[in-house]
Each structure stands twice: as structure tokens, then as C-alpha cells.
Amino acid sequence: MDHTLKQPGERPDTSMEITRRVFIHKSLLAGAAAGAASAGWLPWMNTLDLAFGAEAFKFAWISDSHLYPKTVNTRFVDKVTRAVKDLQTMSPPADFLIYGGDLAQLGDPVELELGADILKEITIKKVFIPGEHDWYLDMGARWQQLFGKPTWTFDHKGVRFIGLDTVSRGPDYWTAKRMTPKERMGHMATLDGSVAGAWAGVGRDQLEWLARTLSDWPKNKPVVIFSHNPLYEYYPPWNFWVRDWREVHEVLRPYTNVTNIHGHTHQVLYNEIGKVRSIGMLATSWTWPYAPEGVPALTRCKVRVDPGDPFDGVGWSKLTMSAAEKIENEYVMWRKDILGEAPWDSGCADNNNQILSPRIADREWPYYGAYK
């Protein structure tokens, strides 16, 4: 797909600058994996600077908090609360916050309302896209009451921002089986489950909306697309992928300065397809291991995480447009190390000897394999 979309000599916008730089911000080691092998850049670079030719500003990303009611578990509450407090100390403040989905764990109104309550502390503009955990108990009813439409766009200081809903168009696997809403949600929330099929997608109507939304936007002006799931094919067995991601890239093809910022994977990820950059964000709840195959080659893997430390391997992101009109993506992780410096500290190093099989319990479902 990258080969198809990227014509000879092409790569993401030439105004983008990538520097090899590890910068210490307070006590945090921060950085986004970046690079492009075709242009001679090195894939282990740490920060991503994008020259947008726009006015300087900052925005922030928080996602994947997976809140349970406080009676079940307060550890996830503690972490998103800490992210909110961190964000409040930003100076100068961020222009807006994007919450990137999976605020709730099981779509329970109690969980969604708890999340809304925690995020209420943030006084700057907030925009939201849904995650699958927010949606499948009541098919997004409570989420939309609290946070509005799942698809939207706005222009800010020379950048067009677009929020895509990649979660609500899953195949109907529940009606034939007469599942209760809880059962439907349970399958959707099982991250390595297969009953729900390949549920992540954008859908024809949203693709057409995206094309219309971009039709009046100059081809060389910056576009930032927020999506819960990554807009490329990364390990389908774990439902990371958006099944119509190719069509999304076809719509984006004429635009030279596109950045996709996504959640869902709970990992540091960096990818380039054609002229589109994709950056994966950290979760506040818990970290996910890298898949045994298909991790984008340009990713610099995050450090192996201590499972006994709930604050390790998780966090949020600051995206800063500097005075030099460049955006820096800064992973704000609450533990010092974010990127593995040696193979034995890298979250990808274990993939070399890891052969995995999909779970067996799903195979007894009478419709197993019907929703691919």
C-alpha cells in the first residue's frame, strides 16, 4: 500500500523536519519515534518536528483510560486524574484537549459519567472521539449525550483538525445470537476476542464526508486526523486495524501534509504510508505488548514495562507547535524511561521468539469466523 501511494521520490511533506534529539523535559524523557528510511533518515530518532507554517500553539491528547466504577477499581481513576492535573500545569496552556476514546471500560453510564466528571476539571476546549469500550453497551447513546457527535472538524490557526469515528460501524454479531447489551459489550471489550470480527472501520458515509470536508482545503496545508484506531493494517488478530483504511488513504492522497494521531494500541508507534504520518499515543490505563509481527519498521519501541508499577508505560501526550512553527510530539510518561535503549529493555525484543495462537474459547461460537 505504501508503494502504491508513494510515488517515486515522494515522502511526507518536505516542510517536515525530523531531528535526532532526546530532550529532557523536567524529569521526563520524552520523544516520538520518527524517521523515514527512504530519505536516509534513521529509524531510531526520538522526536518528530513538523513544520506547519502556522501560528504557534499547543494541544494535548489523553486517551484509553478504561474507567471502571470506583467501587471496582480506582487505579485507572488515579491515572487519568493525574493526566488531567499535569495538563492543567501546562504553561502556556494547551489550546485544546483531544480525548481519543475508551474513556469507559464496559460502556457503563457510571463509567462514562465518572470520566466526564474527571475531565470537567479541564477548562480549555475539549473534543472527543469514541472508543469501542465507550460504545457497545447502548450503541453510543450515553456517550453522544455527554460528548456530542463522534465525527467532526474544525480549523485552528491554519490547521484543519478532523475527528473520525472508527468504532461504531462494527458488524452485527449480536442480533442472530440474541445477545444482551452486556454480552455484546463483553465481546467488544475482549481485546483479543474474535467473536466481534473486524469491527474497526470508517464506513462509506464517513469516507464521503471526509472527502467533502477536505475538498475546500489547500492540498499543501496541514491536516491532523484523530482516530481511535490506527489508519493502517497493524496486526488484525488484535483488532488494531481499520478495515477500510486503504479507502481513507485514497481520500487523503492529494494532501501533502497529513498527520494521523491515534490511540487504542496503548503503545509507542510511528508509521508512514504514502504522505501520511501516523503516531500512536500512550494509554493512561495500562500498556499493551507489541504484536508478534507487523510493528511498523519506523517505530522505536518503548521500554519493557514493570507490571507491578501501575504508572509505568502509560501516560498522555503534549503536541507543541513551536515558535519555529514545528510540532513536537512529547510522550508524557510518568516513569523516566520511555524507549528501550538495549534489546533486553525493548518491548519489541521479545517478539523474536514469540509465536502466538488465537484463543480457543471463541471457536465454539456457532458464528465463529463469520465476521471478518
Partner 1 sequence: MKRQYHYGRTVLGASLLGLLVGVVYGNPALAHKAKHTPEQLKAFEQVFMEQVKVGDLLFHGDEATQKRLGVTLSNTGMACAMCHPFASDTHPYTFPKFQEQVNKFSTLRDMINWCIEKPAEGERIEDDSDAMKALEAYIYWSTRGSRLEPGRH
- Judged by CB under 8 A, how many residues of this single chain contact partner 1? 33
| Residue 20 CA: distances (Å) to CA of 244, 282, 345 | 33, 21, 20
One of 3, 308, 323, 372 touching partner 1 (CB under 8 A): 308
- 190 near partner 1, judged by CB under 8 A: yes
**Terminal-residue alpha carbon distance, the chain:** 20
| Lookup result for grid cell 488515579 | 78
DSSP string, 173-222: -STTTT--HHHHHHHHH-TT--TT-S-----HHHHHHHHHHHTTS-TTS-
* Interaction mask 195-224, partner 1, x per CB under 8 A: ------------------------------
Q: Does 9 bind partner 1 (CB under 8 A)?
A: no
Q: Given candidates 70, 75, 157, 204, which one binds partner 1 under the rule CB under 8 A? A: 75
Question: Does the footprint of partner 1 cover residue 310 (CB under 8 A)?
Answer: yes
Rule CB under 8 A: which of 279-298 touch partner 1? 286-289, 291-292
359 sits near partner 1 (criterion: CB under 8 A): yes
Task: Give alpha helix (H) positions in the chain.
Answer: 2-5, 75-88, 109-119, 132-135, 141-147, 181-189, 204-214, 245-252
We find the least distance from the C-beta atom of residue 170 to partner 1, in angstroms, to be: 18
Q: Report how far residue 33's alpha carbon sits from residue 303's, in angstroms, rounded to the nearest whole number.
A: 12
**Interacting stretch for partner 1, rule CB under 8 A, among 1-9, 83-91, 123-131, 351-359?**
351-359
> Do you know the residue count of the chain?
372
360 binds partner 1 (CB under 8 A): yes
At 271 the three-state DSSP class reads strand
Segments in 41-169 forming alpha helices (H): 75-88, 109-119, 132-135, 141-147
**Region binding partner 1 by CB under 8 A among candidate stretches 5-13, 317-325, 326-334, 355-363:** 355-363
CB under 8 A: which stretch of 39-47, 253-261, 300-308, 329-337 binds partner 1?
300-308
For 266, residues 6+ apart whose C-beta sits below 8 A from its C-beta are 64, 282, 283, 285, 286, 287, 288, 314
241 makes contact with partner 1 (CB under 8 A): no
Q: Residues 19-58 vs partner 1: string with x where CB under 8 A?
A: ----------------------------------------
Nearer to partner 1, 286 or 371 (CB): 286
Burial class, 215, CB count within 10 angstroms (exposed 0-12 / middle 13-18 / buried 19+): exposed
> Which residues are near partner 1 by CB under 8 A?
68, 72-73, 75, 105, 190-193, 237-238, 286-289, 291-292, 306-308, 310, 344, 350, 353-361, 364
